[in-house]
Chain A
Amino acid sequence: MTRSSWKRIKNLRVVVALTFLTLFTILFIDAWHLVPHEVTTVLTSFQLVPAILKAVFVGGAVTIAGVATIIVMTLLFGRVYCSTLCPLGILQDIIIRFARKVNKRKRFRYMKAPRWLHYSILAVSIVLLLFGSSMIIGDLLEPFSNYGRIVNAFVLPLVILVNNVVSDILTRGGVFFLYTVPLHVEGIGALLLGLLFFVTIAYLSVNEGRLFCNSFCPAGAILSLISKISLYKLVIVENACNDCGACDKVCKAECIDSSKKHIDFSACVGCFNCLRSCPKDAIKYEKRSISDIMTSDVDFDYDRRKFFKDLTIPAVTFLAVPGLVKGGGVIVGEKEPIVPPGSLSIYHFTSVCTACHLCVTSCPTGVLQPSLLEYGFAGMFQPKMDYSVNYCNYDCVTCGTVCPTGAIIPLDLATKKLVQIGKSVFHKDDCIVVSKKKDCAACSEHCPTKAVHTVPYENGLFIPEIDSELCIGCGACEYACPVTPNKAITVTANPVHLKAKKPKVEKAKPSPATTPEAFPF
C-alpha cells in the first residue's frame, strides 16, 4: 500500500479513536443518567483489564466476546487497541498533538526501553491481584480507570456547572427542560492526587510519547506480550528505506530505529503515523508464517528468556509486598467503609475494583462517592457508600449493572433487596423523641423494609426501633435523621455481606369504615 492510502487508514483510525473516546467520555459525564446500561456494558467490555476481571468474576457472553475481540485483534495486527479503544491512550495522543502545535521542533526518537520493567510491573500487579489487591493493576495504572477518574473528578463537575447555569436561566423563563444536578466535588486530597496523576501522564506523553503505555500500563504489557506472536507485523523494507528517519520522529511509542531498520513491534501502539510519514512506502505490515512466529523471532526468544529471568527476581521480592499491602489495607478512619450491594465483601470489592468511578457517575442517588484512603493505600480512590450525601435506592441495581470489573457483581432486584451491606444502630439518647420529647420518625419513614419502625413511647409519642434481621444497611435512616451533628441512627458496615430476612408481609385489615353504605362522618 502507498503512503496516501495509509494516510486514509490513519485518518480512519483517528475517527474510530475519537468516536470511542467520545463514547467513553459520555459514560463518565452522564450526569443525567441517560445512557442505557446495556450500552455501558457493551462499551466497557472492550476495555481489556476491566473486561478480563469481569470475565473471571462474573463471566457473561458480552464481556468474554469483548476480551476475545481485543485478543484476536492483537493477534492479527498488534496493539491497535492502544490507539483506537484505549481512552487514556487517545487522551495522550491529543495532548501530544497540542504539544506539537506549541513546540513544532519537538521530535520523538528511538528509545531502547527496558521492556523487562514493564513486564515485571505486570507480573507484580498480577501477583498482588492474586493476593487480593487491585492496587497496581487497577487503582494506580489501569488506563480506563485513570481516564474515568480524570473525567469524573475534573470534567463532570464542569459539565454539571454548565448544566446548572443553563437550567437556572431556563427555569427563570419557566422552562424546566433541564434541571439542576447536585454537584459533589471530591475532597482536596483526592483532587490533588488525581491532578498529580494527570500531570504525570501528560508530562510523560509530551516528552516521551506513549512511555506510560510501554512502561507501566498493565493492558499495554498484556497486549505487548500477545503482539509478539501476531500474524502481521510492521517491518521496514530494507531496500526501499533511504534512512531519512521520518518514521522515528513521528513514532509515539519511540520503537522505530530506522538506522538499524528495526521496529520493536511489541512496543508499537498501532497509530500508523510511520506508515503515513514514510516517503518511500518502506514500512509495511508483513504476514508471518506460523513457523516464523514460533521460531525465527529472535526478539521473542530473547525476551522470553530474559523476561522470565527478570520476572523471577521481582516476583519473589514482591511476594513480601502483598503482606505489606494488606498492612496498607488496614482501614484508615474510625469505621470500615460500606461497600455497595453486589460487592460481596470489603475484601472482594477492594480486590477487584479498579476505581474507574463509573458507578460514581451512574449512581442515581449519588450515595457512591470516591474514597481517598478509607480503604487504606491498597484501596485508594475506590468508591464507598456515603450516607451523608444520600442513601442506596431500594429499587435500584445500577452500580452492579455498570461495574466494568465485577467488583460489584450484577444482581437482580429481588436478590439485591435482601443483601445486607450493613446494619443500622440506634443511638437512643440522641434521638429527638428522647432528647426533645417530640415525634420525628424521619428514619422509619424512609426505611424501605420497615426494619426501622416506630413503637409507642411515653406520652403518646412513637420511638424508632430496629429489627436488625430485616435491615439491609441502605442508609436511608441515617441520611434522613435530622439530628446534628451526630446522627441518632447510623449504619455499621458488614465487612462480609449477609442475607437479610424478607420483610414481613401481613395483609392489612380494612377499616370499619369500608362498608359502601356510609361515611364515618
Chain B
Amino acid sequence: MDRRTFVKRTLSASIGLGALMKAGDVFSAFAGIPVPYDLVAIKGGEPDTMFDEGIKALGGMKRFVKKGDKVVVKPNIGWDVSPERAGDTNPKLVARIIQHCFEAGAKEVSVVDHTCDQWQRCYSNSGIQKAASEAGAKVVPGGTQSYYHTVSVPNGKVLKSAQEHEVILDADVFINVPILKNHSGSRLTMGMKNLMGNVWDREYWHRTDLHQCIADFATYRKPTLNVLDAYYVMKQNGPRGISVNDLVAMKSQIISTDIVALDVAGAKLFGIDPNEVRYIRIAADMKIGRADLENLNIKRILM
C-alpha cells in the first residue's frame, strides 16, 4: 500500500467508523445494547486468558481487524532478558493477540520492535520470536536504519518528523502491546512510550525533549488498539531491571483504543499520579486522548 492509499483508507475508514459508531449509539440507545467500552481492565487471569476476556468485552477482534488486513503487533522487546524478568511484553500475550488477529481474518500479522539491546538477542531471549512465529506471525527485523522511512508528524510541537519502520507504515491495523514498567527517564513506560520502538532516531527525542516528543509522536498515528501487559510489573530499576526482585505480580491487563486513557489507567495501577508523568499531562493537554477516566465507559473484569 502506498502512502496515498494509506491516507485515503485511514481517512475513509475513520469517517466510516465514526459514522457507524454514531449510528450505533443511536441504535443501541433504542435497542438497549450497551455502547462499546472506552477501556477494559482485567485482573486475576493469565496474560492470554485475560486478553480473551478483554477483547470479548470490546466486541471481539473482528471490530478491529477486517478480512485481508495486514496487521502489525508491536510489543516491547527492548531488552535482552528472559520472559520471567518482565523487561519485555509477555510472549503468551503476544501470541494470543496474533491468534485473535488471524481468527478475525487477518491476511498477515507482523511483529516488530526497534530494540535497545542487540535485536536478535532481544527477539530470541524475550521468548517473543518463538511465541510469535508459532502463532503464525512474521517476526520482522528492526535492527538497522534501512528499514525506517521518514514520516512527518504534522501535529507535533517539537517532533516534526520521525523515521518509522516500513512494516508499520504498510500496515492496515496497528496493535500496540506495551508492558507496564518503571522507567528511569520517563517515570513510566506504557502505551505512548512504547511507540518509541516504532522509530529509528530515538536519540533526537532524548536530546530534545523526551516527554514532548513522546506525546508528539502519539499524534502521528492512533494505534487501532492498545493492550497494556501488567501481569508482572517492574516497580523499580526500570526499564531494564536487575532481577525478578524488581517485579510485583499484578496479574492485570488494560485494553483501550485510547492511548492516553490507557496510560492514565496504567499509571494509577502502578501507583503513580498520572499528572506526575509529564508526557501524559502533555498528551491530555494536546487532546490526543482522554485523561478523565471518570467520564469514560470502563469495563472491569475480575477473573
B147 touches A180 (CB 8 A): yes
Task: Please tell me if B224 contacts chain A, counting CB pairs below 8 Å.
Answer: no
B235 touches A508 (CB 8 A): yes
B207 touches A516 (CB 8 A): no
With known contacts A440-B210, A444-B184, A514–B248 Cβ distance under 8 A:
yes
With known contacts A438-B208, A445-B239, A521-B265, A508–B185 Cβ distance under 8 A:
no
Count of CB-CB pairs between chains A and B under 8 Å: 157
- B interface secondary structure, majority: mixed
Task: Please tell me if B144 contacts chain A, counting CB pairs below 8 Å.
Answer: yes
A395 touches B80 (CB 8 A): yes
Q: Which segment, of B26-34, B48-56, B268-276, faces chain A?
A: B268-276
B206 touches A508 (CB 8 A): no
A445 touches B209 (CB 8 A): no
B206 touches A442 (CB 8 A): yes
Task: Please tell me if A454 contacts chain B, counting CB pairs below 8 Å.
Answer: yes
A393 touches B80 (CB 8 A): yes
Q: What is the CA–CA distance of A441 and B116 in the complex, to the nearest angstrom?
A: 14
A521 touches B298 (CB 8 A): yes
A518 to chain B, nearest CB (A): 8
B259 to chain A, nearest CB (A): 16
- A interface secondary structure, majority: loop
Task: Please tell me if B105 contacts chain A, counting CB pairs below 8 Å.
Answer: no
A364 touches B236 (CB 8 A): no
Chain A residues with Cβ below 8 Å from B271 are 511-513, 520
B185 touches A168 (CB 8 A): no
B140 touches A505 (CB 8 A): no
The number of chain A residues with a CB under 8 A from chain B is 57
Q: What is the CA–CA distance of A180 and B148 in the complex, to the nearest angstrom?
A: 12
Closest A residue to B242 by beta carbon equals A503
Task: Please tell me if B163 contacts chain A, counting CB pairs below 8 Å.
Answer: no
Within 8 Å by CB of B242, from A179, A441, A505, lies A505
B271 to chain A, nearest CB (A): 3
B125 touches A395 (CB 8 A): yes
Chain A residues with Cβ below 8 Å from B246 are 508
Task: Please tell me if A495 contacts chain B, counting CB pairs below 8 Å.
Answer: no
B119 to chain A, nearest CB (A): 9
Chain A residues with Cβ below 8 Å from B252 are 519
Closest A residue to B185 by beta carbon equals A441
A176 touches B240 (CB 8 A): no
Contact with B along A384-425 (1 / 0, CB 8 A): 000000100111100000000000000000000000000000
B248 touches A521 (CB 8 A): no
B162 to chain A, nearest CB (A): 15
Task: Please tell me if B10 contacts chain A, counting CB pairs below 8 Å.
Answer: no
Chain B residues with Cβ below 8 Å from A507 are 245
Chain A residues with Cβ below 8 Å from B116 are 445-446, 480
Q: What is the CA–CA distance of A1 and B143 in the complex, to the nearest angstrom?
A: 59
With known contacts A180-B141, A516-B44, A508–B80 Cβ distance under 8 A:
no
Chain A interfacial positions (CB closer than 8 Å to B): 33, 164, 168, 171, 174, 176, 179-182, 364-365, 390, 393-396, 432, 436, 438-442, 444-450, 453-454, 460, 462, 480, 482-484, 503-514, 516-521
Q: Can you report 11 A-B residue pairs in the complex whose CB atoms are below 8 A from each other?
A: A174-B138, A181-B144, A393-B80, A395-B121, A436-B208, A439-B210, A440-B206, A505-B243, A508-B246, A514-B248, A520-B271
| Top 10 A-B pairs, shortest CB-CB distance | A441-B185, A511-B271, A179-B141, A482-B203, A508-B235, A482-B207, A482-B206, A444-B184, A180-B144, A520-B268
